[in-house]
Copies of this chain bind each other. A is one copy, B any other.
Amino acid sequence: MGIGVSMKRVDAYEKVTGRAKYTDDLAPKDALVAVVVRSTIANGLIKSFDMSEAEKVPGVVKIFTCFDVPQIKFPTPGHPWSTDISHQDVSDRMLLNRRVRIYGDDIAAVVAQDRIAADKAARLVKVEYEEYPVYTRMEDSMADGAVLNFEEYKENILKKTCFKNEGASFDDAAKEDGIVVVEGLYDTQTVQHCHIEPPVSFAYMANGKIVVVSSTQIPHIVRRVCGQALGIPWGKVRVIKPYIGGGFGNKQEVLYEPLNAWLTSQLGGRAVKLELTREETFAFTRVRHAMQISLKTAVRKDGQLVARKCTLYSNQGGYASHGHAIVMNATSIQRMLYHDEKAIEQEACTVFTNISTGGAMRGYGIPQGIFALESHMDDVALKIGMDPIEFRKKNHMQNGFKDPGTGIPCHSIGLAECIEKGKKYIKWDEKRKAYANRTGDIRYGVGMAIFCYKSCVAPIALETASCRIVLNQDGSVQVQMGATEIGQGIDTAYTQMAAETLGISADNVYVISTQDTDVTPFDPAAYASRQAYISGTALKQTAEIFVEKVLAFASKMLDKPCDTLLIKNNSIVDKNSGDILLSMENLAMEAFYSLTDSVHITAESTYHSTDNTYSFGACFVEIEIDIPVGKIKVLDIINVHDSGVLINPALAEAQVHGGMSMSLGFGLSEQLLFDGKARPLNNNLLDYKLPTSVDTPELAVDFVETVDPTGPYGNKALGETPALPSAPAIRNALLYATGVAVNSLPMNPQKLVEHFKAAGIICKDGGK
């Protein structure tokens, strides 16, 4: 029951039966309810409040405004922290904000006995504003004379960075004889995570601390940010994270926990619950950044990439959130996946507007970057008349690669095999031949895209993780991990890792699913596809220490040298003969209850890493396109992943399914829309077109298992990679089916019909 077994999720029964307890289930019976009062303009300043009507609502306990809260700015993103000030996140939020920068900004909070009273009072709060112009488009907010979101920047640009590899320039490289230059502009839309459970937390005071129970991916970071936001020592905050109903990066941000923590501190420590509605979640938490990405490639006619230039603009919305990191990531992929012989030139810019704030979302900029890059690569291959697969095989990353920007190295790569598997599955050559003739209303295409993704955040940022293992009297163990189960199944993977290294069966391993910052080992937590790779190594290392301690005790009991013993199948076994010498249970009982030398065996350790490695994969897709109605039907799709050794193949497959679904929505239908006043138009699950099961094709998944030398069990990232490639693969299939390059997402019917009209394959009046 160790590595490589498709064991059932450890939380399957709980979650299927509804027994599993989530944050709201755990809220005290008598918790007060807080509701945030939101600005009804997207850019401006609060002049005053009129609370007279709101305060009359029966059940209202207290209303707090932006004038009441501590005037402390704090950062919200889920980064571990840096002791280097220049690497710390931007502090630009207060608990409640007088200067509003998005529609729906947090300006006051009503605390009431129940939700109905709180909602009613929130609606009755009257606000007088000073209004500023509203910018939804980056070109407008960057225009001369635009009102600045933050006075401390000279323009509405959070940050602009450049990368250029030394001693080379695109223009020089492009001068080479017979070189072909291909250009493209690719843009992606605003989408939202749409996790099932909205952000919810409750806070109360106990034991000299403010306790926050929250549906978060990052309990230890929530602790830190609450401390910062309230201006109190971080140790005075305790954060507990129960089961959570998804996050996808939106809960890698500390949004309302600090407000909630402060509210309870103002109300004598009474429990206060703050749960967002779906509508609030859509527009007032975080979204995936809309990006505009220009790519320009110099390529030889034989397909050798020579130089590439790219310019990225990312619509950050109102606040810095994760800052420039996401557009940096979208930029880095442009130099990682392919090897250009000579020059790489890059410019990246994060632009403030007044739409919903962009933040972390599964893929962290790479879905946008990969859409641009992989669309562009097909454009390049098309231009030089080369098969897209052959073109990619000629140029993609090879083992030993090291990114010149981040230093992230490639320690293992199964990309070529992924491409081969996908090519075979989709019957590439046969289908490309069959679909070459583009005629009729219904056309067909096959397309593909490849991707890579790093396995953690090192060496760009801190990678550290701790684990504690505790022996029980029956020989079973608890494993305490700071890295969080957020629906991805990591607790099951940890169970298998522990079973593997400890030599005990998986049913004797209890991974503590709830994190409690007071007692749970430190770990920045669930993001960046790092848990199995980094925290998994902490687990393995701690398990090895635990085994040493167990064998030392066994050695005393058995009077045999430690190095002749091992743990196998829940027993101490003679390494040489294989004889079973002692059960773990008997050993544990003696350890606990020895009258001469009792010892409660536990192990705890920290793993610090400055290394990293890449995961890879390819997506192949076959589509049918109904030209007149602009409707793409995905007939077949496969993701083939190299994520190193699979800890649990069935869970790996499920993880890929989820990512593919997300990527399909990103490619085909999802888009959060705003009007000219930056008011969200479709922030609900009826009007926002998240794919349903009816919209989703059968999803095929395959793997190429490399053994990565830096992964604890040869494993690499798999959390985010599945969400990367569907959109460009479909776009490329569409290009093949129609000859039309759709460089803008989503590829929904309205957009496709416009493109087909422009391309003349349907008449402008809608006829054929």
B14 touches A206 (CB 8 A): yes
Complex Cα distance, B522 from A589, in Å, reads: 12
Residues of B within 8 A of A480 (CB): 519
A235 touches B600 (CB 8 A): no
Tell me which residues from 508 to 567 in chain A have a Cβ below 8 Å from any Cβ of chain B: 508, 510, 512-513, 518-519, 521-522
A593 touches B268 (CB 8 A): no
Count of chain A residues with a beta carbon within 8 Å of a chain B beta carbon:
68
Selecting from A80-88, A112-120, A318-326, A759-767, the interface stretch reads A80-88
One complex includes copies of this chain to the number of 2
- Residue A462 interfacial (CB < 8 Å): yes
A608 touches B599 (CB 8 A): yes
Residues of B within 8 A of A71 (CB): none
A11 touches B207 (CB 8 A): yes
Contact with B along A190-220 (1 / 0, CB 8 A): 0000000000000011111100000000000
Residues of B within 8 A of A21 (CB): 206
Distance between A572 CB and nearest chain B CB, rounded to angstroms: 17
- Residue A474 interfacial (CB < 8 Å): yes
A268 touches B17 (CB 8 A): yes
Given contacts A19-B206, A83-B589, A519-B519, contact A235 B606 (CB under 8 A): no
A80 touches B19 (CB 8 A): no
Given contacts A519-B480, A600-B466, contact A10 B208 (CB under 8 A): yes
Contact with B along A202-246 (1 / 0, CB 8 A): 001111110000000000000010010000011110000000000
Residues of B within 8 A of A610 (CB): 595-596
Residues of B within 8 A of A204 (CB): 19
- Residue A604 interfacial (CB < 8 Å): yes
Residue of B nearest to A224 (CB): B473
Contact with B along A576-612 (1 / 0, CB 8 A): 0000000001000110111111111010101010100
Q: Of B462, B476, B522, which contacts A235 at CB under 8 A? A: B476
Residues of B within 8 A of A462 (CB): 593-595, 598
A608 touches B598 (CB 8 A): yes
Contact with B along A52-89 (1 / 0, CB 8 A): 00000000000000000000000000001111100000
- Residue A269 interfacial (CB < 8 Å): yes
Given contacts A10-B207, A233-B476, contact A600 B521 (CB under 8 A): yes
Interface centre among A29, A472, A596 (most CB of B within 10 A): A472
Distance between A402 CB and nearest chain B CB, rounded to angstroms: 19
Residues of B within 8 A of A233 (CB): 472, 474, 476, 585
- Residue A304 interfacial (CB < 8 Å): no
- Residue A470 interfacial (CB < 8 Å): yes
Distance between A508 CB and nearest chain B CB, rounded to angstroms: 7
Q: Of B208, B518, B608, which contacts A470 at CB under 8 A? A: B518
Residues of B within 8 A of A28 (CB): 25
B592 touches A81 (CB 8 A): yes
Closest 5 CB pairs of A and B: A235-B472, A235-B476, A233-B474, A464-B598, A522-B600
Knowing that A10-B207, A233-B472, A236-B476 touch, tell me 16 more A-B residue pairs with CB under 8 angstroms.
Answer: A14-B207, A17-B268, A17-B269, A19-B206, A81-B593, A82-B593, A83-B594, A233-B476, A235-B473, A235-B510, A466-B600, A512-B519, A522-B592, A597-B608, A598-B606, A604-B604
25 contacts between A and B (CB under 8 A): A10-B208, A14-B207, A19-B268, A20-B206, A21-B206, A81-B593, A82-B593, A83-B589, A83-B590, A83-B594, A207-B510, A207-B513, A208-B507, A224-B473, A227-B473, A234-B472, A235-B472, A235-B508, A236-B474, A236-B476, A462-B598, A466-B600, A468-B519, A478-B518, A521-B602
Interface set of A (CB-CB < 8 Å, partner B): 10-11, 14, 17, 19-21, 25, 28-29, 80-84, 204-209, 224, 227, 233-236, 268-269, 462, 464, 466, 468, 470, 472-478, 480, 507-508, 510, 512-513, 518-519, 521-522, 585, 589-590, 592-600, 602, 604, 606, 608, 610
